[in-house]
Structure 1
Amino acid sequence: MRWVVLVLLFFGAVINFADKSIIGLAAVPIMKEFNLTYTEWGLVGSSYYWLYPITGIFGAALADRHGAKKILGVLMLTWTILQFGVIAIAALPLLIVYRVLLGAFEGPYSPIAYSHADKWFPPKLRGFANSVVVGGGTVGAMIVAPILVSLITIFGWKIAFALLGLASLVWAVLFQLLTKESPVDVYKEVRKKKKEKLEKINLKDFLLLLASPTALFTTLAYFSAYTLVVWFPVWLPIYLMEAVNMPAAQMGFSVMVIGIVSVAVYTGVSMLSDYLFKKNQNWRLSRVYVVASSMVLGAILLASVIVFQNPIWVVTALCFAKGLTYAILPIGPTIMINEKRERGGLMTSILTSSGNIAGIIAPVLTGFIISVAGGSKLYGYNLSILFIAAIVLLFSILFAIFVKPSSSKDKNMMNKGSTDNSDLIFSDAK
C-alpha cells in the first residue's frame, strides 16, 4: 500500500506542477491574445502565489486534523472546477483571478503530500520518498512540456488547461478508491489519544521553534531554491526562445531534457543522503552537508550560463543546476518534520509556504528586470539568473553553518517503546 500511495502522490505532484507550468508554456499565445507587456506577464506569474503561502499552512493544518486523504480529494476536485472555468477567461483581470484561486487551492498539496509520505516510510527512506514526490513536480513542470506544448498548439491554450482539469478529476477518484489514510488501523487510535494535543498548541513555543536556527535557515534555504522553482515554469520557455534563440519545438524538447536529468540528479542526492543517514544517523553529515554542498555547486552552474551562452552548455548547466539546487526540496521537509513530528503537516506547510513567498517575488522581479534592461532582453535575463544564483549561494552557506537538527528525535522514534505513530509505519505493517 505504501508504494501505491507514493505513486499516486507522485502523479498528484505531476498535475500540480503541470498546472503551474502550462501558463509559461502558453506564454506567447496568451501574451499575444491579451496584448500583455513583460511586466504584466510577471504579474500573472506572481499572482499564482499571492494566497499560496497562507492556504498552504491552513490546508496542511486541516489535513493534520481531518486526514490527508479527505483534504487532498477536496483540493483536486477544486482544481478540476477551476481548470474547466478557464474557458470563460476573456481579459487580464479574469486571468489573474483564475491564477490566484488556482494557487490558493494548490498551495496545500506539497506540504500535505510530504507529510502523508512521511507517515508511510521510515527515516532511512524518507529522503527517497520525498524525492519521488518532488520528482512528480519536475515531471509536471518540465518533462511533459512537449506534450503540453502539443496540446496548446493543437487545441489552443484554454482546452489544454481544461484537459489538466480532467486529469485532476481522475486522480481524485483513484486516490479515494485505492489508498487508505494510514498504514494500520491502530494509527486511528493513536490519533484519538493525541487529538487534545493537536487541538492545543502553545503559540509562543511554536514561534520560538520556527525562529530556531534549524527551522529558520532550513526555511531560508528552501526559499532560495524556490526562486528557481518558480523561474523555471514562468520564464524558462521564453528565455530559451528569446535569449538562446530556440524554436518552439526545440524549446519543448530542451525543457523535457532539463527535467529528466534534474530528477535523476536530485533523486541521487536524496538517496546518498538516505544512505549516509542509515549508516551513521548523523543529521548534519547526511542531511545538512550533503544538501548544502549540492546547492552551492548548483548555484555556480546556474551562474555559468551568463558567461557561457552556447545552447548546449546552457541546457547542460541548467540540468545540473536545477537538480543540485532542488536537493533541499525533498530533504528540507524531513528536517522540519523532525523538529515537531506530531505536527508534521503544519511544519512542512510553514516550510513550503514560506518558500512560496518567492513565487510572489521572483516572477514580478524578473519581468521588471527585463523591462528596465531596455533593448537588451538577454541582459535582463542574465541579471535575473545572477540574482537567483546569488540568493541560492548565500542561503545554502548559511544553511550549512547554522542548521543543526537533533538526531535524538529519530533515534527515539526507532526505539521499540516509542509512542510516536511513526513506529506503526516502520514495522512494515501490511
Structure 2
Amino acid sequence: MADPPAPTRRARTILALLVLFMMINFMDKTVLGLAGKHIRDDLGLSDTAFGSIGSAFYLLFSVSGIVVGFLADRVPARRLLAVLVVVWSASQLVIGLPAAGLGALLVTRVTLGAAEGPAFATANHTAFGWFPDRDRALPSSLLTVGGAAGVAIGAPLLAVVVTRFGWRAAFALTGVLGVLWTLAWLGLGGEGPYASRTEPAPDEPRVPYRRLLTRGTVLGGLAAGFAGFWTMAVAVTWLPQYLQRVHGIALEKASLIAAGTQVVGIAFMLAIGYASTRMMRAGRTSRSARGVLGGAAVVVSGLATLLVTRVGGGAALILVMMIAFTVGNAFFGLMQAALSELVPASRRGALLGIVTAVASTAGAFGPLLTGAIVDAAATRAAGFQHAFDLGAALMVCGGLLAAALIRPSRDRAALDPAPASAVLTH
C-alpha cells in the first residue's frame, strides 16, 4: 500500500489553528476550578452550590453539540467556528466585570457550555476535511493534546492572574484570547478537500440515523466517552480544590502540579495517536488500532484514578495523577477517527456531534454529584475518595466496553449495501 501524500502547508496551518482553538477552549474550562476557592469565599458558596456552577456549564452543552453537529455539514467551518468562539469569549468577558455576581456566573457558564459543547467534534470534523481516513488518528490526537496544552500552559498562568489580580481578571484574559483567535481564524481558516458535501453524491447510501446510532462502534464510543467526560469535568472543577483542601497545597503550586501532569499526558496522547496511525498504515484493523487501543487507555486511567486518594502525597501522588487524568484522554481522538469511518463526509459532522454531545451529558452530573458527595461525607478526604472512586469505576467499565464493541469496518460493512468483502478490504 503506497504511503499517502504528505499534508500540505495549508493543512498544517489549519491544524495548528485548531490546536490553539482547543487550548483556549480548555483554558476557559480550567479557570473555574483554579479560581474555585476564591469564588466560593467571595460569593459565600457551599460545595454543592459551587458544584452546581460546574454542572451548569453542561446544561446546553449536549443540545448545542447535536444542533451544531448537523450545521457543520452545511455551514462553512470558517464561519461556524468563529461564531462559537465569539459566544464563548463574550461569556468569559462578562464575568470580568465587577458587577457580575452569582446569577451572571451561572448564566454565562450555560452560554459558555452551549458554545463549547460542539467545539471538539466540530474541530475534528474540520480537521478531517484536510486529511484522509487512515491519517486521521494523529490530527485528532493533536486536538486532544491541544486541550491538555491549554491546561499545562493555562493553569500556571491563570493561577498567577487569580492570586495577583483577582479571579475576575482570569476570566477576562481567556475572553481576550478567544477574540484574538477569532481574528486569526477569519484570516486563515477554511475547509479542505475532504470536507463534507452539501448534498450526498447520487450513489451515496442513505442510512437512517437510528441504524447508525445503534452500531457497536457508536455504543462503545458512548460508554467510554461518557466515563471520560465525567472524569474530565470532575477534574476540571474539583481537582485544584482537592489538592488545596486535602493536601494543603497552595493554588500556584497546585496549578504547576496540574500543568506537569498535562505535559506528561501530552507525551502519552501523542504516542498513542502515533501508534494508532502506524497500526492503520501497517494494515491492522481499526478495531485494534482505535477501539482496543483507546479502550485500554481508558481502563488504565480508571485504575490509576482509584489510587489518587490512596497513595498519600508527594511524588507518588503526582505520578498517579499523570496517568489518571491524561492517558484516558487519548480515547477521544481515536473515538472521533473511528466514528468518521462509519459515514460519508456529508453526515460526518452530525454523527460526531451527536455522539460527543450524548457522551458529554456526564459533565452535567459529575461536578454536582461530586460536590454533594463531599458535603455529605464525614471528612473532605473521604468525600473526594468516594467521588474519585465513582469516576474510576465508570472509566474501567467504559474502557472495557469500548474495546469490545468498537469495530468500525464491521459496522460500516453492515450499513453499506456494497459487498462486505469490498468494504473490509478498503
Regarding TM over 0.5, the answer is yes
Tell me if 1:219 matches 2:222.
yes
1:352 to 333, 348, 356: 356
| Cα offsets for 1:62-97 (capped at 9, x unmatched) | 121011111001111222222221134543222111
Q: Distance in 1 between matches of 2:89 and 2:295?
A: 38
The answer for the alignment partner of 2:417 in structure 1 is none
The answer for the alignment partner of 2:59 in structure 1 is 50
Q: Distance in 2 between matches of 1:325 and 1:84?
A: 32
Tell me if 1:367 matches 2:376.
no
1:265-276 → structure 2 map (5 Å cutoff): 265-276=268-279
Q: Distance in 1 between matches of 2:377 and 2:302?
A: 23
SS across alignment from 2:200 = helix
1:143 to 130, 139, 153: 153
Q: Distance in 1 between matches of 2:182 and 2:228?
A: 29
1:91 to 92, 101, 109: 101
Stretch moving more, 206-215 or 254-263:
206-215
Shift of residue 327, structure 1, vs aligned partner: 1.9
2:306 to 303, 308, 324: 303
Tell me if structure 2 keeps the 8 A contact 1:2–1:183: no
Shift of residue 31, structure 1, vs aligned partner: 0.5
Going from structure 1 to structure 2, the CA distance change for 1:334 and 1:362 (only over 3 Å counts) comes to same
Going from structure 1 to structure 2, the CA distance change for 1:197 and 1:315 (only over 3 Å counts) comes to farther
1:289 to 292, 311, 329: 292
Tell me if structure 1 keeps the 8 A contact 2:374–2:383: yes
Shift of residue 245, structure 1, vs aligned partner: 2.0
Tell me if structure 2 keeps the 8 A contact 1:34–1:92: yes
Tell me if structure 1 keeps the 8 A contact 2:76–2:190: no
Question: Which amino acid counterpart does residue 143 of structure 1 have in structure 2?
Answer: I
Q: Distance in 2 between matches of 1:382 and 1:126?
A: 37
Question: Which amino acid counterpart does residue 121 of structure 1 have in structure 2?
Answer: F
The answer for the alignment partner of 1:14 in structure 2 is 23
Tell me if structure 1 keeps the 8 A contact 2:299–2:395: yes
1:63 to 72, 75, 78: 72
1:218-237 → structure 2 map (5 Å cutoff): 218-237=221-240
The answer for the alignment partner of 1:161 in structure 2 is 171
1:70-219 → structure 2 map (5 Å cutoff): 70-88=79-97, 89-183=99-193, 191=197, 194=200, 205-219=208-222
Going from structure 1 to structure 2, the CA distance change for 1:142 and 1:380 (only over 3 Å counts) comes to farther
Going from structure 1 to structure 2, the CA distance change for 1:287 and 1:295 (only over 3 Å counts) comes to same
Q: Distance in 1 between matches of 2:320 and 2:297?
A: 14
Q: Distance in 2 between matches of 1:7 and 1:236?
A: 29
1:29 to 38, 45, 51: 38
Shift of residue 197, structure 1, vs aligned partner: 10
SS across alignment from 2:271 = helix
Going from structure 1 to structure 2, the CA distance change for 1:367 and 1:192 (only over 3 Å counts) comes to closer
Going from structure 1 to structure 2, the CA distance change for 1:398 and 1:155 (only over 3 Å counts) comes to same
Going from structure 1 to structure 2, the CA distance change for 1:37 and 1:142 (only over 3 Å counts) comes to farther
1:243-392 → structure 2 map (5 Å cutoff): 243-342=246-345, 343-374=347-378, 376-392=379-395
Question: Which amino acid counterpart does residue 353 of structure 1 have in structure 2?
Answer: A
Stretch moving more, 55-64 or 5-14:
55-64
Going from structure 1 to structure 2, the CA distance change for 1:201 and 1:153 (only over 3 Å counts) comes to farther
The answer for the alignment partner of 2:418 in structure 1 is none
Shift of residue 179, structure 1, vs aligned partner: 2.5
TM-score in terms of structure 1 length: 0.89
Q: Distance in 2 between matches of 1:330 and 1:388?
A: 20
More helix by share: 1
Tell me if structure 1 keeps the 8 A contact 2:144–2:330: no
Shift of residue 191, structure 1, vs aligned partner: 2.6
The answer for the alignment partner of 2:416 in structure 1 is none
Q: Distance in 2 between matches of 1:402 and 1:110?
A: 22
Shift of residue 36, structure 1, vs aligned partner: 0.2
SS across alignment from 2:248 = coil
Question: Which amino acid counterpart does residue 348 of structure 1 have in structure 2?
Answer: L
Q: Distance in 1 between matches of 2:243 and 2:228?
A: 20
Q: What is the CA RMSD across the aligned residues, in angstroms? A: 2.3
| Cα offsets for 1:209-245 (capped at 9, x unmatched) | 2022221121111111111111221011001111222
What residue ranges of structure 1 are gaps of 5+ in the alignment? 411-430
Q: Distance in 1 between matches of 2:50 and 2:149?
A: 24
Question: Which amino acid counterpart does residue 346 of structure 1 have in structure 2?
Answer: A
| Cα offsets for 1:238-286 (capped at 9, x unmatched) | 0111122212221111011011111111221111111111102411221
Shift of residue 208, structure 1, vs aligned partner: 2.4
Q: Distance in 2 between matches of 1:341 and 1:151?
A: 45
Question: Which amino acid counterpart does residue 377 of structure 2 have in structure 1?
Answer: A
Stretch moving more, 66-75 or 301-310:
301-310
Q: Distance in 2 between matches of 1:96 and 1:108?
A: 20
Q: When the two structures are aligned, how many residues end up with a matched partner? A: 404
Q: Distance in 2 between matches of 1:126 and 1:210?
A: 21
Shift of residue 409, structure 1, vs aligned partner: 5.7
| Cα offsets for 1:18-52 (capped at 9, x unmatched) | 11110110101111110000000100000000000
Tell me if structure 2 keeps the 8 A contact 1:282–1:407: no
Q: Distance in 1 between matches of 2:373 and 2:252?
A: 27
Tell me if structure 1 keeps the 8 A contact 2:277–2:289: yes
What residue ranges of structure 2 are gaps of 5+ in the alignment? 1-9, 414-426
Tell me if structure 2 keeps the 8 A contact 1:143–1:259: no
Percent of residue pairs identical: 27
Q: Distance in 2 between matches of 1:3 and 1:64?
A: 22
